[in-house]
Each structure stands twice: as C-alpha cells, then as structure tokens.
Structure 1
C-alpha cells in the first residue's frame, strides 16, 4: 500500500494530538451539563429551594428541562413551575435570553466534542489499524505529546481559577458572550439562585479533577506500553 505524503501524515498526527485532550475536556463538560443527578446535588448542596422559594421537585423537573433544551431544537426555554398552587414562568425574559446564548455555546461544545471523537477514532482506525502508517508505539508517544500540550493549556486556566475564581469566572463570561445578559441579580433572578457562583466553582474543580484523572489513566497506559514494548524489544535483541 502506498504511503501518504509526509505533510498529510504530519497534519493527521497533529490533529490527533490536538483532538485527544479536546475530547477529554469537552466530553467531561458535556457529561456534567447533561447529568440530572449532578443538578439535583447542586440544588440541595447550595439551597436552591431556599433561594428560589420553590419546592425541590419543581427545581428537579426544571433541571431536566434545561438539559433537554441543550439537546433539542427549541429556540426559547420556557419552563412553567407551580409556586404556592399557582403556575408561573420560572425565568424572566433576561434569563431566557441568556439561556439562548448558553445553548448556542453548549451546542458548539457538543459539535467540537463529536468532531474530536471522530478524529481520534478515525486516526486510530486508519493510521494504525488499517494502513499501518503509525505503529502502536508511535500512537502512544503521540498521545503523550497531546496530553502534555493539553495539560499545559488546562494548567494555565486552573492557575487563574484557583488564584481568583471570581475574576476568572467574569473573564470567561466576557470572552464567551457578546452581551451582558449573564449579569443577573441573585436577589431576584432564579437562574443564578439555582446555579449560584459556589456551584460553578465546585463544578470547575470537579471538572478539573475528572479531566486530570482521565488524562492520567491514558498517560499511564501509554507510558506503560512504551516501557514494556521497549523492554521486550531489548530482550529480543539480546537473545539474537
């Protein structure tokens, strides 16, 4: 089978190295954003019922509707809750408009996650298993390189978050959104009452821990394979 041009092989390898940490990061965020159990934990840990004046059952239902909104094709998030026997909208117009922006951001993250998965699986399938352009040892080295680059990028973000979460959180919103709809009033706006800043701080640290754990497992597997395959190769050479 003819070998691909070196520039194509190089670009494909670089795409894999970049996609691997992206897959880990976006996959973790996507999982947390779609996990109703984590929402329920947050509502209880940060007293969402006391802040909003709504029963936990209504908040749990609303949390599931938010998750569904991220995945469906609806343009506007309309959630009706029962409060003291009367039905009313959960969110005001400003909160609804901000959630539209959040959905745009989340859908973009979902597409990046899916693209990264295609690149990682496609590279392993085509370059390693099908064509043999890349050996398993080469794949392990490439994975370590990608994880190292990803760790450097995530590490810089982590330093800012740990040094001052308030400022880091504000900076994130200023970069991610082109308006100030995210500036909500915790005294009146239920969205921030349900998901206060301490919730996001915990979520950020949890996401960092999960990302680090996944990267560590992959790095350990790659490193162990490189060590064992090198040792096996040295032993074979000495026998000959």
Structure 2
C-alpha cells in the first residue's frame, strides 16, 4: 500500500489540480473578467462588448449543460442570421465532448484521491499520504513552470499542438469573421493558458509547502 501511495498519488495530483483550475475558468465570471481586462481587443466586425457578454456565456453554458447542438444552432443575431456556421457548430460539439470527458476524469481523480486518503488513514499511513501529496504538488509546480515558459516563448506553437492533439485535421481553424473568433480571440486563449498556469501553480505550491513534514512529527 505504501508503494501504491508513493507512486499513484503524485501522478494523480497534477491532473486533479489542472482540471480543478480548468473548472474554475469554465465560468461566466472568468469571461466577464477577461472582457474587462485592459487591452482586450474589440471586435473589428462591430460586435459590442454587451453582445459579446451575452453570447459568450451561452457558448460556455452549452459546454456544461446536457443540451444538443441546437442550443447553439438556434441562436441568431438581431437581424435573424445564424450566430454560428456549420463548421463552428461542429467544432463546438467536439469541444463539448472533450469538456464533458475531462470533467468526468476530474471527478474520478478527486474521488480516487479521497479514497486513497481514507484508506491511508485506516491503515495508519497518513504521513506517507501527506508526503505523496506534497510530491504531487512539487511535480505540478515543475510542469506548470515548463508550460508557462512555452506560453512565453511560443504560444502559437503550443496552441496549435494542443488542437492537433485533441481535434481532427483543421476543424478548429476559422476565419476572423467567424463568431467563435470574434467572441474568443487569441488574446482570450493566451489568458486562459496563463490563468490555468497561475491557478495550478498556486495549488501545487500550496500542497508542496502545506504537506511538508512538520517538525517534531
């Protein structure tokens, strides 16, 4: 059991922290904050901030709810034209599948950590469990620092490779005039990666420092 704790927990912790950070960003609050950030680009095709703040949370709602793609497909601009084209709708469906799968993994990993923690408590192995959590925190910090370096050096490459990993072909590429790009420009995604890194870094540091062996213990 000790060996299982020492190996499995440090692997699960970075996954739990990263997915927790992801869930925190999948909220209308983050979208609202992002749109009010200094220097956030205006829509060059004329969509107002109020319109963006109306439509963007709906796209987020779709990722989190149980509705089918008609939830987005039925949305229109004020003149009645569809908000999204077929290519955008297809991509949003793919994103929803990925998001829902990630959230299931998140819940599963958290439950696994709780179960291991309870078992460690029952077996008198809490010290080993705490140490493994701390190692997982340190591992998370290392991974996130590497990620932030990549963001700083070549965000475009990182963004492209992320999409190549999770989506087929060029289904994620759009025109600047497409609604998804107008709602979520590249600046938005840069800040998403930075936000993920920042939140995960804080979580990793908290575990790393908080789970250090206490003097006299």
> Residues of 2 paired with 1:37 and 1:97: CA distance?
26
RMSD of aligned C-alpha atoms?
2.0
Whether contact under 8 Å (1:65, 1:79) holds in the other structure is no
Q: CA deviation at 1:44?
A: 4.1
Aligned to 1:32: 25
Aligned to 2:181: 192
Confirm whether residue 98 of structure 1 aligns to residue 85 of structure 2. Answer: no
Question: Closer, same or farther in 2 for the Cα pair 1:52/1:107, shift >3 Å?
Answer: farther
Structure 2: gaps of 5 or more residues: none
Q: CA deviation at 1:13?
A: 4.5
Q: CA deviation at 1:185?
A: 1.2
Aligned to 1:3: none
Deviations 1:113-169 (A, max 9, x none): 1111101111112221xx22413x222211122223333333333332221111111
Structure 2 SS opposite 1:179: coil
Q: CA deviation at 1:199?
A: 1.3
Aligned to 2:125: 134
Deviations 1:159-184 (A, max 9, x none): 32221111111111111111211111
> Residues of 2 paired with 1:151 and 1:163: CA distance?
18
Confirm whether residue 174 of structure 1 aligns to residue 164 of structure 2. Answer: yes
Higher relative contact order (CA 8 A, sep 6+): 2
Aligned to 2:110: 117
Q: CA deviation at 1:12?
A: 4.9
Whether contact under 8 Å (1:42, 1:195) holds in the other structure is no
Whether contact under 8 Å (1:23, 1:113) holds in the other structure is yes
Structure 1: gaps of 5 or more residues: 1-5, 234-240
> Residues of 2 paired with 1:27 and 1:52: CA distance?
35
> Residues of 1 paired with 2:86 and 2:106: CA distance?
30
Structure 2 SS opposite 1:96: helix
Alignment partner for residue 153 of structure 2, among 159, 163, 172? 163
Whether contact under 8 Å (1:13, 1:142) holds in the other structure is yes
